[in-house]
Amino acid sequence: MMRVKAMLKIAFFPVALLSLALANFTALAAEPAGVVLEDMSRSQLRAEIEKYESEFYRVFNASVDDEKYEIHCARYKPTNSNISARACEPNFIVDARNENVISFQLGIAPQLTPADLRKGLGAEFEALTKMLNAELAENDYFRALNADLSMLRQMLAEKEAK
């Protein structure tokens, strides 16, 4: 009896995740009634961009075989600011930054600037670009998310320029 319950829990978990994924897909695909994108405020556009980015990276991460190329978003507070920001980065940048901080703290290497850190990761960025382009070429949903995300970002840029 206990073994059957454990098996049901194991079988239920993937079904629950699939249900959540489908619910997220329908939530993104259906525009709320009465909402006109042009009438959205900057904060509403930012929230919409965040939803689309999360879905975009979720779809991309599902297609990646190597974890170091997965992209994750996190909130942080920039230096001298109380306003949080959001950054989406591949794991290889996070790992390189962490390794550099540890090396600096141990006195093994100088602390690199973000630009210097990125320069040393040229091969990884090239591989990431190829993976993103391959996913865009193969996946219609991913391509649609990319187009919608570009449009939302353009709308936000236009609102912020005014």
Tokens encoding 142: 């991913």
Residue with tokens 């709308």: 155
The region, left, alpha or beta by phi > 0 then psi within -120 to 50, assigned to residue 35 is: beta
Whether residue 70 lies inside any domain: the answer is yes
Whether residue 15 lies inside any domain: the answer is no
Whether residue 36 lies inside any domain: the answer is no
Whether residue 33 lies inside any domain: the answer is no
Whether residue 129 lies inside any domain: the answer is yes
Tokens encoding 6: 């454990």
pLDDT above 70 coverage of the chain, percent: 78
Whether residue 126 lies inside any domain: the answer is yes
Single pTM value for the model: 0.73
| Number of domains present in the structure of the chain | 1
Quote the mean pLDDT of the chain.
83
From the CB of residue 68, how many other CB atoms can be counted at a distance below 10 Å?
Answer: 15
Q: What is the mean pLDDT of residues 122-138?
A: 97
Residue 6, pLDDT above cutoff 90: no
Whether residue 17 lies inside any domain: the answer is no
Worst-scoring range by mean pLDDT, 33-42, 82-91, 97-106, 143-152? Answer: 33-42
For the stretch 54-88, pLDDT in tens is: 999 999 999 999 999 999 999 999 989 999 999 99
- CA 67 to the chain's CA centroid: 13
For the stretch 99-129, pLDDT in tens is: 999 999 999 999 999 899 999 999 999 999 9
Tokens encoding 106: 């141990």
Tokens encoding 61: 């991460």
Q: How far is the C-alpha of 155 from the C-alpha of 140, rounded, in Å?
A: 23
Confidence category of residue 37, pLDDT binned at 50, 70, 90: confident
Whether residue 94 lies inside any domain: the answer is yes
Q: What is the pLDDT of residue 18?
A: 35
Beta bridge partners of 86: 75
Grouping H, G, I as helix, E, B as strand and the rest as coil, residue 3 is helix
Measured torsion, CA atoms of residues 97, 48, 138, 136, in degrees rounded to the nearest 10: -50
**Structural domain of residue 129, as residue ranges?**
41-161
Q: How far is the C-alpha of 69 from the C-alpha of 54, rounded, in Å?
A: 15
